[in-house]
Amino acid sequence: MNTKKLKLTGLLLAVGLIAIIAGVGCSGGDPQELDIEVRIDHGVMNPETIEVIQGDMVTLKILADEGGEFHLHTYDIEMDIEASSETDFFFVAEATGRFKITYHPQDESEHNEEENGHNEEEREGEEEHDQQDEAGEIEVGFLEVQPR
């Protein structure tokens, strides 16, 4: 009987050890500081899906072929991006889920308008212009935040 008790004790210890190791392996661990390179060429983002874990401190290092506005929906963070110049876009991945990323390229006429100021006709049509901005967004990818 001592052999059976010894085997049973050994088996229980082994199962307990496996459970502890599995529990530690499944835990999310500490939040990470992540630098992720992102390229936007001709309205296409690479990588198309950015995957992080809740609590991670994320810096997207964005390089775009044309200037525009980068928008992370739900987090509601927007940033102007200059053409061919790396821009750091920082956020903490707090909300979990899959979130849309859009880009509103800035065409040459918009760039010239900003440099030269707005004329009278443009001021009258500001509301219409805002609607065009929203319609001009291009869905370029997604942010996926997994629970920790």
Q: Is residue 90 part of a domain?
A: yes
Look at the chain and count its residues.
148
Q: Is residue 134 part of a domain?
A: yes
pTM above the 0.75 mark? no
Q: pLDDT, tens digit, for every residue of 5-58?
A: 666 666 555 555 565 555 545 556 899 999 999 999 999 999 999 999 999 999
Q: Is residue 108 part of a domain?
A: yes
Q: Is residue 24 part of a domain?
A: no
Omega cis (within 30) before 47: yes
Domains in the chain, number: 1
CATH of the domain at 83: 2.60.40.420
Q: Is residue 14 part of a domain?
A: no
pLDDT winner (highest mean) among 30-34, 106-110, 133-137:
30-34
Question: pLDDT category, 120, cuts 50, 70, 90?
Answer: very low
Range of the domain at 91: 31-146
- Compute the Cα dihedral for 127, 131, 134, 137 and give only its sign: negative
Q: What percent of the chain has pLDDT over 70?
A: 64
Q: Is residue 53 part of a domain?
A: yes
